[in-house]
A and B are shown apart, each in its own frame.
Chain A
Amino acid sequence: NAGVTQTPKFRVLKTGQSMTLLCAQDMNHEYMYWYRQDPGMGLRLIHYSVGEGTTAKGEVPDGYNVSRLKKQNFLLGLESAAPSQTSVYFCASRAPLLETQYFGPGTRLLVL
């Protein structure tokens, strides 16, 4: 039982490049979330999903897109990376009726 996994662990991009971050969970959770964490800023919600095929915007969605084609996977895309998107990205999931979110190990992204 791996819980929540994220790939890649670390990535360096040049400004304007695109990439996709993958989050996978094996707990059969309905809800999945993408956060970014910047120094001194806590965790800020980018996008979330309440079930397969659904997505919604969070607090800081601009510059990101997401897809939830399969229940166990939640993808975060950057179409044209900017230095302001340098951050650590965390994925989380939770079960219905339970409020605790379980986090993946994070992806460190550096945009030059």
Chain B
Amino acid sequence: EDKVVQSPLSLVVHEGDTVTLNCSYEVTNFRSLLWYKQEKKAPTFLFMLTSSGIEKKSGRLSSILDKKELFSILNITATQTGDSAIYLCAGGSGGSNYKLTFGKGTLLTVNP
């Protein structure tokens, strides 16, 4: 059974702090690792990683994948209150029946 584990489950920081969110995975026929941000409603896509060691960046957010050790991290620098959300990590598996297995998420709260 595929498994994705995120840590920590929740985190409270002050504006301006840097945070690192962790995701480890055990996914059969692994193809990709995806990060989503979920505020009040639907998850919105952040990054997809398929190759080891390559960093994806978007503004203050960045992510890297280690396919040997089976984990990924999501970094957020200079956090803002608008970064408060649940961050979901998902492992993608399979061929034509490709599907995602999600972790439980990390609830990030950024206080002013």
**Chain A positions near chain B (C-beta within 8 angstroms):** 4, 31, 33, 35, 40-45, 48, 50, 56, 58-59, 90, 99-106
Chain B 1-30 near chain A by CB (<8 Å), digits 1 or 0: 000101001000000000000000000000
Interface residues contributed by chain B, number (CB under 8 Å): 25
Chain B 68-96 near chain A by CB (<8 Å), digits 1 or 0: 00000000000000000000101010001
> A107–B112 Cα gap in the complex (Å)?
32
A99 pairs with B96, CB closer than 8 A:
no
A43 partner, pick from B9, B32, B48, B102, beta carbons under 8 A: B102
A99 pairs with B31, CB closer than 8 A:
yes
A33 pairs with B42, CB closer than 8 A:
no
A99 partner, pick from B9, B32, B41, B44, beta carbons under 8 A: B32
> A103–B38 Cα gap in the complex (Å)?
10
Determine the residue in chain A with the shortest Cβ distance to B96: A50
* Contact A105-B42, Cβ < 8 Å, known A40-B9, A99-B48: yes
**Chain B positions near chain A (C-beta within 8 angstroms):** 4, 6, 9, 31-32, 34, 41-45, 48, 88, 90, 92, 96-105
Minimum distance in angstroms from B4 CB to a CB of chain A = 8
> A45–B2 Cα gap in the complex (Å)?
12
Minimum distance in angstroms from A69 CB to a CB of chain B = 20
A44 partner, pick from B41, B96, B102, beta carbons under 8 A: B102
B103 pairs with A100, CB closer than 8 A:
no
* Contact A45-B100, Cβ < 8 Å, known A40-B9, A100-B34, A100-B48: yes
A50 pairs with B41, CB closer than 8 A:
no
Q: Could you pull out 27 A-B pairs where Cβ atoms are within 8 angstroms? A: A4-B42, A33-B99, A42-B6, A42-B103, A42-B105, A43-B90, A43-B100, A44-B102, A45-B100, A56-B97, A58-B99, A59-B101, A90-B42, A99-B32, A99-B34, A99-B92, A99-B98, A100-B48, A101-B34, A101-B45, A101-B100, A103-B42, A103-B44, A105-B41, A105-B42, A106-B41, A106-B42
